[in-house]
A and B are shown apart, each in its own frame.
Chain A
């Protein structure tokens, strides 16, 4: 069966042929010959059972993802009246307000600055950590991998609260500084606090893809370089790192995107003064009740995020292609 023409990584083709064989009642013999043709010539009603299986999930997602997202986009063109709320309209006033006011410029710059530094720190910490983990022996390896990844499942509110206790003026970090006659420093409600806590939350998203890339790495290439008298540093730089680049790339895209739209960490560790795009959206929706403006900030955040990530991807992809070729 596996030798039949349309080779695919999953079982999709096999499923088709099995179904056809069952329907025509001629058992499992000789279906591989007619199969390539039958997948191409299948009449539309052959797909009805499959569509029916997907129908409940599709209806749920159409009703609660596609329609609401479209409504939100429409909402950005509405006018807002403080007395009566959103008024149906088609105008770009909300976009103009966000794009021209220096208040929102500051917020967006801060948001992407935080996301950028967080991504950088995650690369600098996550990549070597994944490498160190991959060179451990097994009870330790699985244990520490679990320690690094498991916080992913602990509520982000809990982790933000933990950091606020570490960073507050009497917190453990300032107590440690006091031992060497430094501080106390104001750490809570600063961009520093936001970045540190975000790195803590995002680190697993960096470690996972790098770890996956490391699993695919052939240890013999490393040994070959060493046996050809390359120093360990050179081996790391010329042999290991280039092979990890795709993992680092996809990890940093993930971290950047999630950091730029993070809500709980900036909300709890930034205080009321240090707003980022996500907390600004929250305030527009639940305090000022200016939904059209809030929706506009969210849509712009999404677009800006997309542009930054695509540019980054293009840039690194080109560099990566050059260093390999």
Chain B
């Protein structure tokens, strides 16, 4: 393999700077002791993190997002796992259509899904309820669960299952003791990726949340369009830390590169 020349490495350094700069600056400013968003900052303080505690809108939005991400990722897994097992392992009429339908939210813009669900919820009288918001988020995140579970199902070595069956294990035992442990990384990886995506989702949520069910990204968007002070930075820094934590976990259980690049 040939090495990169100095020009290539300078280019690379600039790209990395470009990618990290906006995130680094948010984290830096979050620790400012100053009253306004000025740079460079003068010293180090946690006052703007404490300020979040006195601003109940962010606190309730944060817990809304957390509950929403937890509920929708879990329910999405329950719904998607059997479908992924069927689609990944058997050939049946309607398989291609189902596969396309369950992955379609990846190509339908969140904006279009958002207005479509807003219209639908208005007609069935479901606007503002948390349960319907969970269902809406399940739509957005199910493709991620599907993709990871499908990838691990299709990479499965069937001969182990056949060995279990030939040794007298019934179908359920084979699934519980053989298949499930083998696809477990795909399942936990899918759940975590779904969790992160639900926690971060903005475009669709902005249409279907109500003042009672506002999520953290929606609250942050509204806050940022109205006022800009260092609290926005400290909330953003917290989001970065939480996302980084979830990513580390994801890396441990499934491998982050595998999740992001996918298996082809």
Contacts and interface: CB of A to CB of B under 8 A. Distances in A.
Interface string B219-238: 01100110010001100100
A146 B244 CA distance: 12
A172 B25 contact: yes
A117 B2 CA distance: 32
Residue of B101, B116, B135, B232 contacting most chain A CB atoms (<10 Å): B116
Interface stretch (B15-23, B43-51, B182-190): B15-23
B68 interface: no
A85 to B, nearest CB: 10
Size category of the B interface is 35 or more
Contact of B29 (A16, A165, A208, A222): A165
A208 B90 CA distance: 29
Interface in B81-132: 82-83, 85-95, 98, 101-102, 104-105, 107-113, 115-120, 123
B86 A53 contact: yes
Interface stretch (A97-105, A125-133, A179-187): A125-133
Interface in A199-221: 200, 203-204, 208, 211-212, 219
A69 B261 contact: no
A154 B90 contact: no
B53 interface: no
A151 B247 CA distance: 10
A278 interface: yes
A208 B113 contact: no
Contacts of A285: 115, 118, 207
A72 B112 CA distance: 9
Interface in B1-56: 1-4, 8-9, 11-12, 15-16, 18-23, 25-26, 29, 37-39
A64 B126 CA distance: 12
Contacts of A53: 82-83, 85-86
Given A54-B83, A291-B119, A15 B89 contact: yes
A152 B196 CA distance: 10
Given A12-B90, A64-B138, A302-B109, 4 more contacts: A39-B91, A156-B202, A278-B203, A291-B115
11 contacts: A54-B83, A67-B120, A71-B119, A72-B112, A150-B256, A155-B217, A155-B220, A162-B22, A165-B22, A165-B39, A268-B221
Interface of B: 1-4, 8-9, 11-12, 15-16, 18-23, 25-26, 29, 37-39, 78-80, 82-83, 85-95, 98, 101-102, 104-105, 107-113, 115-120, 123, 135-136, 138-139, 142, 153-154, 156, 158, 161-162, 165-166, 171, 196-197, 199-200, 202-203, 206-207, 217, 220-221, 224-225, 228, 232-233, 236, 239-240, 243-244, 246-247, 256-257, 260-262, 264
